Amino acid sequence: MTECQTNDIRRMPGTASHAVPGIAPEVTPGPVPGAAPSPEAYYGERYATLLAARQQMDDLIEEFSRSRSDSDDLKPVVYHTSRVKSPASLMEKIARKGSCGTTFDDALSVGINDIVGLRVNCAFVDDVYATAAWVRSRDEVEVLNEKDYIAHPKPNGYRSLHLIVRLHRGAAALLPAVEIQLRTIATDFWATLEHKIKYKKTIENPELMQAELKRCADEIAAVDLSMQAIRNVIRDAG
């Protein structure tokens, strides 16, 4: 057993501990293999706050979409999804950060900002920026960080606009921060497949696959720009 396992398994919420011969009770490892704690057990009283932050962000995006709906045009937000990261997924991400921790507080200490996440998919690039601008303008939203991977794509071709925000309810801030990913529906198609493919361990010629994915990302970005140009022409003509 590694030092991380010895020191941290006993701190994992929502799991039982089992005595192991030769190990002092205060350092006995805990969880039954394969048994992950429920969100309620893992997050404890904070789970209600996480769900509230998720719901508040969902409501904000739906409000924006309704306010900009036009019978002659597509809604700015075609669809959106949200989630609270599962305990297993969060603990895995903590480990990838190089930490021995397993708890909610450990996640915050290593800078994990996507415990609550929202993915917003728009028809056009302009709608991505319009949605982000509307989010920034809200009094109850504090923008902590922003990364524009549309203007500055990642080396693999990934394009999205990321906002890290903190939501406020009255004078109180809801913890933790929320990550919002905004992208076009065409880019979402690419990103979803790329995410699944990159974790496949049995792919031959991974360098060739990465190059092909990058080429596809560039082509999709070109299509996005063409569709935006067509939309602008139609709007100007109307």
Residues forming CATH 3.30.460.10 domain(s) in the chain: 36-237
Q: How many CA atoms lie within 13 A of 207 on its CB side?
A: 0
pLDDT in tens, 77-90: 999 999 999 999 99
Q: What percent of the chain has pLDDT over 90?
A: 64
Cβ atoms 105, 46 nearer than 8 A: no
3-class SS letters over the chain: CCHHHHHHHHHCCCCCCCCCCCCCHHHCCCCCCCCCCCHHHHHCCHHHHHHHHHHHHHHHHHHHHHHCCCCCCCCCEEEEEEEECCHHHHHHHHHHCCCCCCCHHHHHHCCCCCCEEEEEEECCHHHHHHHHHHHHHCCCEEEEEEEECCCCCCCCCCCCEEEEEEEEECCEEEEEEEEEEEEEHHHHHHHHHHHHHHCCCCCCCHHHHHHHHHHHHHHHHHHHHHHHHHHHHHHHHC
Which SS3 state, helix, strand or coil, does residue 162 take? Answer: strand
Which SS3 state, helix, strand or coil, does residue 115 take? Answer: coil
Count of Cβ atoms closer than 10 Å to residue 13 Cβ: 16
What is the Cα–Cα distance from 149 to 161, expressed in whole angstroms? 6
Q: Is the pLDDT of residue 6 over 70?
A: no
Which pLDDT score, from 0 to 100, does residue 199 have?
65
Q: Is the pLDDT of residue 53 over 80?
A: yes
- Domain 36-237 homologous superfamily, CATH: Beta Polymerase, domain 2 (3.30.460.10)
The position carrying tokens 């990103």 is 191
pLDDT in tens, 103-159: 999 999 999 999 999 999 999 999 999 999 999 999 999 999 999 999 999 999 999
User: Which amino acid type is present at position 121?
Assistant: N
Which pLDDT score, from 0 to 100, does residue 4 have?
63
Which pLDDT score, from 0 to 100, does residue 35 have?
66
Q: Is the pLDDT of residue 33 over 50?
A: no
Which region among 19-28, 99-108, 200-209 has the lowest average model confidence (pLDDT)?
19-28
Computed over every residue of the chain, the mean pLDDT equals 84
pLDDT in tens, 152-197: 999 999 999 999 999 987 766 767 799 999 999 999 999 988 877 7
Which pLDDT score, from 0 to 100, does residue 21 have?
39
Which pLDDT score, from 0 to 100, does residue 171 have?
63
Phi, psi of 179 (to 5 degrees): -100, 130
